[in-house]
Each structure stands twice: as C-alpha cells, then as structure tokens.
Chain A
Amino acid sequence: MRARFALIALAALGFWALADLTLKAGPSLGGIGQAGGFLRRAWPLDFPPLGEILTQVGRTMAVVLLATLVSVLLGGALAVAATVGRRFTAGASRVALTAARALPDVVLAVIFIRFFGLGALPAVLAMGLHSAGMVGRLYAAAVEQADRGPQEALRAVGAGRIQTFCTAVLPQVAPSFLSIALYRLDINLRISAILGYVGSTGIGTELAMAFGRLDYQRGMAWAVVLFVLCALTEISSGAIRRHGIPARLCKVVAVGGVLAVGWAIVASGVLEVDLAGNWLETLTLFWPPTTAGAELGTALLTTVQVALAATALGALVAVPLGSVAASNVAPNRFVYFVSRAVVLIVRSIPELVLAVLFLLIAGPGPVAATLALAVGASGLLGKLVADSTEQLPPSPALALRSVGASRLQTFFGATFRQGVPDLVSNLLYQLDSNLRAATLLGIVGGGGIGLYLLQAMRTREYAVVTMILLLLFAVVLSLELLATRLVRRIR
C-alpha cells in the first residue's frame, strides 16, 4: 500500500516537472527541425589520426584508473572502519561515507582546479572522493553480508579486529570488492568525459573543444570514440565480474595491475601539479559563500525537475521493456534476447554522448538534458527492473496461472504488484543518479545549476562555487536520507 502510494507520488512529481519544463521551454523547442541540419553538419565524421586517439584514450583511462584506485583505497578503509571498528570509529566512518557520497564531483573538480591548476589531478581527486563514498557503502554492505562464523572462530582464537578482517572476511569479500571496483570504473569513465568540459584532460576535453569551435564533424567523431571505449570497458569488466579471475592468473593480474597504476601515474600527468599561489589566500576566495545575485534557487529547482522528469520518462520505457527482458515474464526467448540486447546497448551509451546529441538536436536547455537522461535512465532502469523481476518468488504468479489467468492477467495480478517495492527503490536510486547527472549535464549546456557553476568558474566567482557546493550537498543528502527511510518502510 505504502509502496503504491510512493510510486504514484513519484510519477506525479515526474510528470509535473516534465510539464513545467516543457512549458517554460515553450517556443524555443522548435529546435527539433534543426536535427536534419545538424546531421548534415556532422557528416562525414572527421576522426583524428590514430596516434592522437590512442593518446587521448590512454589519458582518459589513466585518470579513470587512478580515480577508481583512490576510491577503492579510501572507500575501502572507511568501509573497514565502519564495519569492524569500535563504536565511535564506526559511526564517524559511516558519516564520512555518507558525506563523501553527497559531494558533487564536478563542483569538487572546479574547486581543485583552482588549487592544482588544469590537468589530471583535480579530476582524479574529485572523482576519487565522491566515488569513495559510493564504493565504501557497497564494500561495507559486502562485509556485513559475509559469513560471521569464521569471524567468531578467529575472535575465539584471540585474533584482533584487523587480523580477523584480513583472514576471515577479506577472502570472502574479495570477489565482490573487485566487481564493485570494476563497476565504479565504468561509471567513472562516463563522468570523466563530462569533467573534460571543466578543464580536465582526455576525450571529454577534446570533445568540448571541438564543439566549442563548432567543429561538429570532429566533435561527433570523439563522441563515437567515447562510446566505443565505454562499451569495450563495460563488456570486459562485465566479463570479469561474471567469471571472476581464475586462481592461476591471480599473480599475473596483480602484477599487471601494479604496472597499470604505475603507467597511469605517468600517462595521466597527475604529478604535473601547478600549485596556484598561496593556498590560504586561495581559500579566502571561497568564503563566505554567496549567490552574488544569481537565482541559484530557481536553477537548483530546474536541475531537480530535470532529474524527476527524466526518471519518470525513463520509467515509462523501462518498466515494459525491463519486464519483458525478465526471463520469468518474457513471452518467448526471442523477445527476451532482443529486449536484453536493447537494454544493454542503451545502457552503454555514455550520458555525455546522449547529451551532446540531444543538445544539438533540441537546442541547449533543460528539455534536451531531460531527454538525454531519460534515454540513459531507460537503459539502467530497464536492467534493474529486469533483474529484480527475475528475483521475485514465483509462487503467486504460478497460483494465478493455475486458475487459468492469461499471461497479461498474471503479470498485472501478481508479478507487477509484487515488484512494486523493488520498482520504488530502483526509481529512487535512478533519481539519485539522475540528480548528479543533471548537474553535470548543466555544464555541457543542459541548464539548471550546472550552468551557473560554469559561469561562476569562468568569472572566477569562487564564493558562488562554494554556495553551489553547499546547495547540491544539502539536496543530495536529503534525497538520500529520504530514499533510505522510504525504502526501509516499504520493504
């Protein structure tokens, strides 16, 4: 009952936001007609020389690898402290993890750029800090789910907390730690592309520069490179996640990993730091926070609306698509494979590529951002819906089938209803992720608070950056607290 109410409320909010956004966009939405023109200008794609592509791919991957490493080390340490530490340490670490999660990575990147100059380090730190919160939460959950038997046995042996963790917990959770890190690597790759817009290095920067000088042929070529890179990374990390690393290859992989990190440190150029003057002086630029007359509240509302509308639109596609992509609902194997394939392909298109496409087709503004995020959301949500539908206990559906209900009646009478709590929690997860993405897309041209962030950065109004940081932090944190409570209640 509660779950259904939450679902209706989310849908209502989503469509209110959508209506409001399109209404405000009004006449400027005539851009759909530009689509043909844009395609003409982007064709044929103008790929840079292979050497240049490889250099940029290398830089991008190096930054992403280091950011993921930072998040694994920091998030891992906090997760261990949160699960095996004494009461105070554990509590403090949980707070730190939640705070890190709510830190908006792009705002952090802007701040770090002021301190360390343009380059790889700000991106590594910003993404690393934010993902540490994400990774840490998942790591802590994995530790909590580990079998407690061996832990008790080692406590009985007289082992200390850290000793017990290393011997009794780490071997159990190592596979899920690896798979979480790889999953985060995929996400960081997408984010790093967008950070290119605020002055990181790699493909995102090349893409931003090409579009900046209206060179659509080159810009779209970089978008294709990014898409292929994301797809390849996702396919290989997915394969490792599913099959694990065979024991006999562990040593090779470990050595390879260490070499890769060494290479990444050199290739990314994180060490080329340009310390911009006196840090204390720089700090005073950021304080006290101010809006400097900008309508940050309205902008923030737009960003939230984009996230809400994109989630609702995405769900509209994802619920039917994800349902038939679940093996226990799909009418036949053909539908199952086709819908699974669609979900997989849509999910592997990076948000930046979607955003660039929609911005060029529909013109800059929140509507384009909404559409881009909605497409992305339908992929991710579709997968989440399919996976959680497959996990549902089969008995209610079987009962309906046995009294002669049709396939459709069974779906609406049993499967869909059982799935509502899962759907709500997946929607909330998607909303959370869309809220972060909506901020990022604002920088690319999607309007909302991201636009002001870019402006503040250009005009060097760092006190406004601080204000934006605080506002986003507060919104993301409250959404997360709300979502956690709601999910706990409807379970």
Chain B
Amino acid sequence: MAAESPVVSLRAVTKMFGSARALDEVELEVRRGEVVVLLGRSGAGKSTLLRHVAGLQQATSGGLTVLGTEVSTARERELRRLRRRIGFVFQGFQLVGRLSALENACSGALGRLAGPRLGLATYPRAVRRLAAEQLDRVGLSAQAYQRADTLSGGEQQRVAIARALVQQPQILLADEPVAALDPSSATTVLELLRGIAREEQLTVICSLHQVAPALSFATRVVGLRSGRVFSDQQVSEVDEETLARVYGAAE
C-alpha cells in the first residue's frame, strides 16, 4: 500500500433498506491521521455509513476499500481480520453489563485470540496488562473490577474506548459517542478521544450531533443529507452557511 493511498475509500456506495435509500452513491476518501466528523440530521445515514466501513453491513452497490481490503467482495474471515484493526465506539456503549470493566476491556483482544474466553482468568496475562493500561489511560483504573452496569454513562463510554484501544486499531470509528451523556461527561469523552487520536496518529471517523464540539474535534467535517455527501470541508474552511444547510429543511 502506497503511503499516500487513502485508508478508507467509498466509491458510489449505495445501501437500500427495502425501497428506502439509506446511502446514496456516497463518495468519500479518508487519509491516514485524519479526524473526520460526520454531521447530519437524524436518519441522514451516519450510522449506516460507519457500519459499512466496519464491515458490519454490506453495501447494495458500489465499492468500499478499507485498509487495503475490498469490503464488498471480502469473505467473512477477511472481514473479521479487518474488523480487528478497526475500533468501534457506539452511542449506547454496548458493554456486557454483568462483566467487570477490566473484562470488557479485555474482550477487545478477542479478534486476535483463538477460541472462546470464559472469565477474566482465561485471557493471556499480556492482554490483561494491556487492558489495565488502557483503563488507566481513560482514567478508570480504580473501577477496573466494578461491574460495567454499575458505572455511570461517561465511565461506561470510557470503558468502551478502552476496549477499542485494546484492539490496537488503525482506525477508530465512533457513532455519536457522546449523545447519551451529560455535557460535562461529553466533554471529557471527546477530549479523551481527541488526545488519543493525536498520540496514536489514529484515523478517526466520528458522527456527532452538535456543530461546536465537531469543530474543535475534527480536522475535516463531512455533512450528510438523505444518504448523500452534502458538504466536505477541512475544518479551517467550514462556513456556517453550509452547516446550516446540512441541517436545513429546504434544499
């Protein structure tokens, strides 16, 4: 792979749900180290786009290359290998509530481990150490042995980030990671994500609901409207008018 070739590239990707068009001929290239924020109204197709990049959903038509893998033609095994290299942070955290924070973080390593794991003790020592380090990094080493469903929302999302980091990913996808959080936890989580992205030189694609945090977080802002890329600007070039139209009712 040449150094300047994009890590993620979508070519005319279309996704139909029945007769509804969730993604409509989306064209998008993301380069290494970029932090892209997706903006768009509810139903614009943000989650669907992220799921496609992670190989969790298959496009109806079009081409999608992620980290050199052609997703649309990949077999399940190749997709698994690809997903291993992509961290995914969800709006609803999606932790296993009855397991401890540490075990949830460890589960990020499942993709590179063979066979099932039952309990913390069944993970290799190196994974446990890595998971503990990542929990420490998100500021939760004190809560490592607490059950995930007893943590606050902000803490749960930080555990989910630790889980993604244990994957040691090259791309980090985040789908409205702070929508379920109160403003102060939201700020903590976004700052954490930004710091990590910079330190690790991660490529980040993150959907957000609000414009202000997007502008301080992103290097590039992509506006989606009805499944189409409506605007695509570097953060320095973003103008209010375009963003208003991303959310605007009329064309």
Contact = CB atoms under 8 A, between A and B. Distances in A.
Contact of B118 (A150, A153, A155, A166): A166
Nearest to A165: B116
B88 A153 contact: yes
B55 to A, nearest CB: 9
A156 B98 contact: no
Given A153-B90, A157-B83, A158-B80, A167 B98 contact: no
Interface stretch (B103-111, B212-220, B224-232): B103-111
A154 interface: yes
Contacts of B93: 149
Q: How large is the interface on B (under 10, 10 to 19, 20 to 34, 35 or more residues)?
A: 20 to 34
Contact of A163 (B86, B90, B110): B110
B56 A155 contact: yes
B49 interface: no
Nearest to A166: B116
B164 to A, nearest CB: 8
A155 B115 CA distance: 14
14 contacts: A150-B97, A152-B94, A153-B88, A153-B94, A154-B107, A159-B107, A163-B110, A163-B117, A165-B116, A167-B117, A170-B118, A171-B99, A172-B96, A172-B97
Interface residues of A, number: 23
A399 to B, nearest CB: 35
Nearest to A168: B96
B112 interface: yes
A150 B110 contact: no
B218 to A, nearest CB: 22
Interface of B: 54, 56, 80-86, 88, 90, 92-99, 107-108, 110-113, 115-118, 160, 163, 167
A51 interface: no
Contacts of A157: 83-84, 88, 107-108, 110-111, 163, 167
Contacts of A156: 54, 56, 83, 86, 88
A168 B94 CA distance: 10
Contacts of B118: 166, 170
A167 B163 contact: no
Contacts of B82: 158
Nearest to A170: B118
B88 A167 contact: no
A149 B107 contact: no
B112 A153 contact: no
A160 interface: yes
B112 A158 contact: yes
A78 B118 CA distance: 19
A164 B110 CA distance: 9
Contact of B115 (A150, A154, A163, A174): A163
A104 to B, nearest CB: 36
A162 interface: yes
A152 B108 CA distance: 12
